[in-house]
Amino acid sequence: MGWSPIEKSFKNWLVKPNLQDYEEARRTFSWSTIDDELKGTLAGLNIADIALARHAKSDRADQTALRFLAKDWSIKDFTYRELNAQTNRFANVLKTLGVAKGDSVFVLAGRIPALYIAALGTLKNGSVFCPLFSAFGPEPIYQRMNRGDATVLVTTAALYQQKVAALRDRLPKLQHILLADIEDHLEAGIWSLPKLMQAAADDCAIAPTQPEEMALLHFTSGTTGMPKGAIHVHKAVYAHYMTAKYVLDLHPDDIFWCTADPGWVTGTSYGIIAPLTHGVTSIIDEAEFDADRWYRILETQKVTVWYTAPTAIRRLMRLDIDLKTQYDLSHLRLVHSVGEPLNPEAVVWGQEKLGLPIHDNWWQTETGGIMIANYATMPIRPGSMGRPIPGVEAAIVRRHEDGTIEQITQPGMDGDLALKPDFPSIFRGYLHDEERYRKCFVGDWYITGDLAMRDQDGYFWFVGREDDIIKTSGHMVGPFEVESALMEHPAVAEAGVIGKPNPMIGELVKAFVALKPGQEPSEALKLELLGFARQKLGAAVAPKELEFQESLPKTRSGKIMRRLLKARELGLPEGDLSTLETG
């Protein structure tokens, strides 16, 4: 918390922020106001109606909804009208195949148009959309499709051959495979999606789903263990819309770019649904991370609001690029980040290099949408996740052994980060794991599994995941604090910190460090870093051991897997590795 706040000033803003007075909004906001703002075209509530169909019938119909950038930089645009027609066709394809309301439609694909069309078309049919990350191997695909009772899989011919064909006998419920890139049907059950789409009508009656009906199945990132399947309902769209308005601050003319893959919840909630609910243009890049490419996208597409993740920001920070002379990023108005703690260093890097601070926000698969955030109009305290969104109550609580729960109102105390589970996008279950779901709720609270603290002004500070907290010599140490201190050293690109069992002090703080390009590991540098951390953190919290690594193990969604660092350090089983980023 040694960083100065970054103040905001309204004066130079061309676009007036949607959330002007946070305190006022917290006092007056009610989710029922969203009822009036989001008038769909149906008797029920369907995400695809709110995100798409209602715009296709409005004066936004010819606005670009999605712009796809292929790897070779070619562009394919879909207006709201076109996307609406294509997704109608997809819903009709499902109907023709006998796919019913509530059946699960899985998609295994890169960021190609078919994925987005399938997602929204599935919702229109009243079926459940479940995205899979295209780089998963066969076993993680099988695990998820089996647990999720997949009826339909949309994928490409190559992905099908490489990863799914051999699994078919083990997936008896899987009836239809729709291949997005073949001209003719292969056999009954393995269909050419383009051919079916061509034969389908481009209007359809959207299933009048009810607000509480299941719409989305999202598997968690598997950072702390076996991924869980979180169930979300159509009403979650209220939170997607509301947070895109107040946190992302979307306005009708915005060009929005969410860099997350729809295989993770961010890439669906904010890479598909939320921007469409506001009728804006979303950029979708088919290629993987590349610093020059990303800056060129921001420049050439004139991106105004950018939503990315700490792992990408750290990769950009590693490179010493003079952004002001090399790229024209003058259209960029707001930068947001989610997924992992955002080191204060990164917030300030944004301010210095992009001329814009990075706005951290916190949420998880289970919450379906952003819960705690930094807002355009509010000063940023670098290292803080910000404050709860209007309409959501967050608190620090402590659980007692007798099952009771106590809210900690005193500022500066660590405890469980908890939410009142009365907002529309809270998950409605873990698939086939009722017991685990029930355990997340204690008294009036949903316990998030993260530890945090609240300062005297209501800003929340991430301390760590419950599973990652280190208990050393009677102190509780959050790895984030130690990692952020190490990150301040100019040689450090990334750090991951764990507790290593130690008979004298409980756990010993050990750091794993990846260096910036051009920096060589050495004994002298190790001692320098240990000394640097001790000076910043004090001897009780600073790491006692430090090891250099080429790079740190991460999930495919870019989160440092401390459980794996720990398992490897201790020679323990590595556990579920389905989401580990490889190569």
Please, what is the minimum distance in Å from the beta carbon of residue 555 to ligand ATP? Answer: 6
Which one of 55, 336, 465, 554 is in contact with ligand ATP (CB under 6 A)? 465
Which one of 92, 221, 425, 472 is in contact with ligand ATP (CB under 6 A)? 221
Interaction mask 196-235, Mg ion, x per CB under 5 A = ------------------------x---------------
Please, what is the minimum distance in Å from the beta carbon of residue 275 to ligand ATP? Answer: 19
Q: Which does 222 bind (CB under 5 to 8 A by kind): ligand ATP, Mg ion, none?
A: ligand ATP
Hunting for tokens 């459940």 — which residue is that?
128
C-beta of 209 vs 337, nearer to ligand ATP:
337
Please, what is the minimum distance in Å from the beta carbon of residue 159 to ligand ATP? Answer: 22
Please, what is the minimum distance in Å from the beta carbon of residue 269 to Mg ion? Answer: 15
Collect contacts of 432-438 with beta carbons under 8 A, ≥24 apart. Answer: 432/147, 432/229, 433/228, 433/229, 436/228
Question: Under a CB-based contact definition with an 8 Å cutoff, are residues 252 and 276 in contact?
Answer: no
CA gap 76, 66 in Å, rounded: 8
Q: According to the binding rule CB under 6 A, does residue 365 interact with ligand ATP?
A: yes
Residue 503: other Cβ atoms inside 10 A:
5
CA gap 45, 124 in Å, rounded: 10
Site for ligand ATP in 264-283 (CB under 6 A): 264
Q: Residue 25 class from Cβ within 10 Å (0-12 exposed, 13-18 middle, 19+ buried)?
A: middle
Stretch that binds ligand ATP, among 41-49, 71-79, 317-325, 447-455 (CB under 6 A): 447-455
CA gap 90, 438 in Å, rounded: 36
Of residues 119, 106, 338, 121, the one with CA closest to residue 219: 106
Q: According to the binding rule CB under 6 A, does residue 481 interact with ligand ATP?
A: no
Give one DSSP letter per residue of 50-86, joined into a string.
IIIIHHHTSTTTTSEEEEEE-TTS-EEEEEHHHHHHH
Cα–Cα–Cα angle for 250, 256, 259, nearest 5°?
Answer: 130
Stretch that binds ligand ATP, among 13-21, 50-58, 223-231, 403-411 (CB under 6 A): 223-231
C-beta of 57 vs 439, nearer to ligand ATP:
439
How many residues belong to the site for Mg ion (CB under 5 A)?
1
The first and second tokens of residue 69, run together, are: 């950038």
Which one of 285, 345, 360, 416 is in contact with ligand ATP (CB under 6 A)? 360
Q: According to the binding rule CB under 6 A, does residue 479 interact with ligand ATP?
A: no
* Side chain identity, residue 177: I
Please, what is the minimum distance in Å from the beta carbon of residue 418 to Mg ion? Answer: 14
Stretch that binds ligand ATP, among 126-134, 145-153, 249-257, 446-454 (CB under 6 A): 446-454
C-beta of 71 vs 436, nearer to ligand ATP:
436
Which one of 192, 223, 277, 384 is in contact with ligand ATP (CB under 6 A)? 223
The first and second tokens of residue 114, run together, are: 């078919």
CA gap 562, 468 in Å, rounded: 7
Which one of 6, 123, 174, 385 is in contact with ligand ATP (CB under 6 A)? 385
Which one of 340, 414, 483, 494 is in contact with ligand ATP (CB under 6 A)? 340
Which one of 160, 462, 512, 532 is in contact with ligand ATP (CB under 6 A)? 462
**3-state DSSP call for residue 485?**
helix
Stretch that binds ligand ATP, among 11-19, 92-100, 334-342, 526-534 (CB under 6 A): 334-342
C-beta of 181 vs 467, nearer to Mg ion:
467
How many residues belong to the site for ligand ATP (CB under 6 A)?
27
- Residues 6+ away with beta carbon under 8 Å from 2: none
The first and second tokens of residue 574, run together, are: 């590595």
Please, what is the minimum distance in Å from the beta carbon of residue 48 to ligand ATP? Answer: 23
Stretch that binds ligand ATP, among 114-122, 140-148, 214-222, 518-526 (CB under 6 A): 214-222
C-beta of 201 vs 226, nearer to ligand ATP:
226
Q: In what order do the strands lie in the sheet with 128-132?
A: 190-192, 176-179, 150-155, 104-108, 128-132, 214-219, 229-233
Site for ligand ATP in 543-572 (CB under 6 A): 557, 559
C-beta of 264 vs 294, nearer to ligand ATP:
264
Please, what is the minimum distance in Å from the beta carbon of residue 149 to ligand ATP? Answer: 20
Site for ligand ATP in 501-530 (CB under 6 A): none
Stretch that binds ligand ATP, among 39-47, 119-127, 359-367, 453-461 (CB under 6 A): 359-367
Please, what is the minimum distance in Å from the beta carbon of residue 187 to ligand ATP? Answer: 36
Q: Which does 225 bind (CB under 5 to 8 A by kind): ligand ATP, Mg ion, none?
A: ligand ATP
Residue 509's alpha-carbon distances to 277, 341, 472, 542, 556, in angstroms, are 45, 19, 7, 7, 26
Q: Can you list the positions of beta strands (E) in 249-342?
A: 255-258, 281-285, 305-308, 334-337
Q: According to the binding rule CB under 6 A, does residue 450 interact with ligand ATP?
A: yes
Of residues 351, 421, 362, 413, the one with CA closest to residue 392: 421
C-beta of 382 vs 429, nearer to Mg ion:
429
Question: Under a CB-based contact definition with an 8 Å cutoff, are residues 334 and 359 in contact?
Answer: yes
The first and second tokens of residue 218, run together, are: 């999202």
C-beta of 349 vs 362, nearer to ligand ATP:
362
CA gap 131, 118 in Å, rounded: 10
CA gap 132, 142 in Å, rounded: 11
Residue 317: other Cβ atoms inside 10 A:
21
**3-state DSSP call for residue 277?**
helix
Please, what is the minimum distance in Å from the beta carbon of residue 114 to ligand ATP? Answer: 24
CA gap 285, 313 in Å, rounded: 17
Please, what is the minimum distance in Å from the beta carbon of residue 465 to Mg ion? Answer: 7
Question: Which residues lie near ligand ATP (CB under 6 A)?
Answer: 220-225, 227-228, 264, 338-342, 360-362, 364-365, 385, 448-450, 462, 465, 557, 559
Question: Which residues lie near Mg ion (CB under 5 A)?
Answer: 220
